[in-house]
Amino acid sequence: MSNLRIALVAEGITDYVIIEAALKAILPRSFVLTLLQPEATRFDLGGGWGGVLKWCKEFRARGVGSLEADPTLEQFHLIIIHLDADVADKSYTNYGLQTATDAATFSWSALPCALPCPPPDATVNNLQSVLLSWLGMKANGNRTALCIPSKSSEAWLATAVFPSDQGLLADIECAMDMENRLVQLPKQQRIRKTSREYKSHAATMTSRWNGVRQLCSRANAFHHDVDAIAQTLPT
């Protein structure tokens, strides 16, 4: 059985760590996860949600219609596009005048697009539409999974590492400050936003993934989406 080849477009390297840990729990076979964005040699794209937007804009400019039809992506069995749901509270002007101009030129769906949370799904559904508009697509293809944690991937990390901390996990999918909550924990528990510290908890995330799914509906949705694609892939 050969390794699955998975492509990931993400906001940052710590998101890569979290998503890789989740995939190890979801997929029954080994895989190689390739980070397409942020990419070390593409300083012009940058990171964060703006980097994801620029990557999507470049894909759209190739005019291939779907990620699966893109010759540069044909080697991959699965393509994952990540965006944290807190992006729904952003504005295109936050990323500069050119981005706001591009939004009008390419008819991107509007930002901000956040709705009251809970429930998290209302905002996530809006943000999915925004992300697809960046790609120039009406829907994602049969080998593409959209990964949109609410409000950030840190919600999944916090739930895995501190499953019994009710204070930390309060409003887990609606809290805008999970990154700060993790940094402000007592010194022995503190998790700073670095790939090294996130990697130190990756195995815990994998082993406790079912618990994360129970508390974080978007983790459960991502699990089902990836699993559904995996079921269609050749062995």
Q: Which residues of the chain have pLDDT under 50?
A: none
Residue 72 lies in a domain: yes
Residue 209 lies in a domain: no
Residue 54 lies in a domain: yes
Determine the pLDDT at residue 96.
87
Residue 17 lies in a domain: yes
Residue 227: give the domain boundaries.
Answer: 4-152+214-232
Total structural domains within the chain: 1
Determine the pLDDT at residue 186.
96
Residue 226 lies in a domain: yes
Determine the pLDDT at residue 95.
87
Determine the pLDDT at residue 65.
87
Residue 172 lies in a domain: no
**How many other β-carbons are positioned within 10 Å of the β-carbon of residue 115?**
14
Determine the pLDDT at residue 102.
96
